């Protein structure tokens, strides 16, 4: 995998980059696994509910199998593809019984390799197994929080968690943020780190490319008038100053804890994520 940096022919091309990978397929996606995606543009009943969303290129949804519940049936990777709806790559798997499914691709996946989902699947990149049967210290991804519900965490590009301990009913995983949490040892996880770890190094380069992605411009609150934002107003350029940081609707922002104190999953978190310095 390599990052292509464009020549500085124009101001928009200066330092623009994209990921070029030899493993990516140039063929069209599997038609039977594509679905129409209706553009909501951040609206609810025609009114803006989420700012800075709208426009963008037409996209189609890929039906991604996060459960991978074809247990004991080997599958061959037919292609590694981009998915416009997520940061990670996806893999098209042809199973021995003839069914085709998209799954999250992990590092080391290539066209022609065989994978399998089983409770005691071999420890091999791309295989999916029960957490209690995976060796301690293994990097895993697409992890279930409850048995049978499908992978819910560690699904974005380059993400991976380390299995640190396995007990009779519970297992401990350490996430990239430093948080250590408990999960059921009967949950399934995919062995390996999620693909496309260089995703966060991409330089979009120009405003137009953001518009292609459906991202509309954002304006700083301090550049607005007082009627538009709590940070607005003042003579000349004014920062937040002694004001308490607020959202456009006057609620506390920038450091305000939003997690509910009585959330059901608090008891599963052994150590909180490390604070930013």
pLDDT digits (tens, 9 = 90+) for 80-113: 999 999 999 999 999 998 899 999 999 989 898 9
> For the residues 134-158, what does the mean pLDDT come to?
92
* Token pair for 225: 């008038």
- Give the pTM: 0.87
Which residue ranges make up each domain of the chain? 2-200
Distance CA 5, CA 85 (A): 23
- The yes-or-no verdict on residue 19 having pLDDT over 90 is no
- The yes-or-no verdict on residue 70 having pLDDT over 70 is yes
Residues of the chain with pLDDT > 90, as a percent, come to 55
15-51 per-residue burial string, b: 16 or more CB within 10 A, e: under 16:
ebeebeeebbeeeebbeebeeeeeeeeeeeeeeeeee
Confidence grade of residue 212 (pLDDT, cut at 50, 70, 90): very high
Distance CA 10, CA 20 (A): 21
**Pair 163, 141: CB distance under 8 Å:** no
At the topology level of CATH, where does 2-200 sit? Answer: OB fold (Dihydrolipoamide Acetyltransferase, E2P) (2.40.50)
Residue 125's CB is within 10 A of a number of other CB atoms, namely 16
**Pair 63, 35: CB distance under 8 Å:** yes
Confidence grade of residue 1 (pLDDT, cut at 50, 70, 90): low
- The yes-or-no verdict on residue 243 having pLDDT over 80 is no
Residue 227's CB is within 10 A of a number of other CB atoms, namely 7
Backbone angles phi, psi at 201, to 5 degrees: -95, 0
DSSP state string for 69-117: --BT--EEEEEEE--TTSSS-EEEEEETTS-EEEEE-BTT--TT-EE-B
Lowest pLDDT segment from 21-25, 33-37, 140-144, 162-166: 21-25
Which pLDDT value is given to residue 256? Answer: 85
Which pLDDT value is given to residue 115? Answer: 93
Q: What one-character DSSP code corresponds to residue 265?
A: G
- Each residue of 29-64: pLDDT tens digit? 999 999 998 888 889 998 999 999 998 999 999 999
What mean pLDDT value characterizes the chain?
Answer: 90
Confidence grade of residue 160 (pLDDT, cut at 50, 70, 90): very high
- The yes-or-no verdict on residue 277 having pLDDT over 70 is no
């Amino acid at each position: 995998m390599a990052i292509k940096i464009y020549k500085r022919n124009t101001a928009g091309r200066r330092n623009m980059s994209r990921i070029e990978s030899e493993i990516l397929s140039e063929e069209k996606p599997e038609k039977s696994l594509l679905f129409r995606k209706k553009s909501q543009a951040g609206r609810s009943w025609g009114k803006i509910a989420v700012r800075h969303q709208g426009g963008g290129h037409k996209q189609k949804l890929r039906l991604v199998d996060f459960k991978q519940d074809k247990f004991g049936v080997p599958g061959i990777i037919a292609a590694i593809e981009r998915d416009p709806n997520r940061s990670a790559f996806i893999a098209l798997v042809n199973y021995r019984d003839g069914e085709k499914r998209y799954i999250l691709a992990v590092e080391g996946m290539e066209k022609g390799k065989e994978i399998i989902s089983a409770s005691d699947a071999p420890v091999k990149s791309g295989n999916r197994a029960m957490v209690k049967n995976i060796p301690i210290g293994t990097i895993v991804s697409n992890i279930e929080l409850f048995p049978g519900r499908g992978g819910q965490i560690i699904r974005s590009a380059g993400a991976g968690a380390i299995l640190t301990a396995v007990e009779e009913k519970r297992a401990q995983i350490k996430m990239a943020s430093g948080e250590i949490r408990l999960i059921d040892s009967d949950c399934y996880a995919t062995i390996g780190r999620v693909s496309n770890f260089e995703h966060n190094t991409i330089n979009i380069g120009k405003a137009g490319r953001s518009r292609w992605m459906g991202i509309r411009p954002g304006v700083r609150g301090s550049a607005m008038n007082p009627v538009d934002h709590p940070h607005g107003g003042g003579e000349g350029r004014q920062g937040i100053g002694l004001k308490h940081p607020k959202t456009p609707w006057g609620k506390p922002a920038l450091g305000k804890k939003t997690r509910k104190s009585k959330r059901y999953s608090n008891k599963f978190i052994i150590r909180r994520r490390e604070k930013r310095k």
